[in-house]
Amino acid sequence: MTENELHLQLRHWHKDSFGWALHCCVGNEADAEDVLQNVYLKVLESKAKFDGKSSFKTWLFSVIRFTAIDAMRRQKVRQTKMETIDKEVFAEIGLAIEPEQEEEHDVQKFKAALDTLPERQREVLLLVFYHENSIAEAAVIMGISLGTARTHYERGKEALRKVFVN
């Protein structure tokens, strides 16, 4: 892939990439921006190379996921070294939006239900529904087998069904 083609692909997938980085950074926009910037640097400096074994999007989302995991791990290490952590700051980061309409309430209820799922189930569902990946592509992005991805996908859907049926 030429440098020009690489730039075109990065531009094409930027919006989706930011959405995925935002998820990987637990909704923290600043962290997502930092992760995405680091991903772009890795790609442009050839520290992460597209090998063509999957689609460009699948490969890019995988790079984003692992970069975010590394960033979160480093951040956690820094935080644990601190003697005092102001937990109120983390509470303020949470969504405190009061829904004004029933439709907005359903969206909030869905987001809350999604947040209760185990991480892998949540990631598979987000990759498939929000980022329009196949389950196979989600498996590659997450670094798990296709069978495992299918299992998490089905279990996540079933858990969400139970929330909305009750």
Among positive and negative, which fits the CA dihedral 124, 125, 128, 132?
negative
Residues of the chain with CATH 1.10.1740.10: 1-94
Q: Quote the percentage of the chain above a pLDDT of 70.
A: 80
Q: What is the pLDDT of residue 114?
A: 84
Q: What angle do CA 25, 30, 35 make, to 5 degrees?
A: 55
What CATH class does 95-166 carry?
mainly alpha
Reply yes or no on domain 1-94 having CATH 3.40.50.170.
Answer: no
Q: What is the pLDDT of residue 101?
A: 45
* pLDDT: which is higher, 12 or 82: 12
Residues of the chain with CATH 1.10.10.10: 95-166
Q: What is the pLDDT of residue 98?
A: 43
Average of per-residue pLDDT across 116-132: 89
DSSP E strand stretches across 16-98: none
Q: What is the pLDDT of residue 103?
A: 52
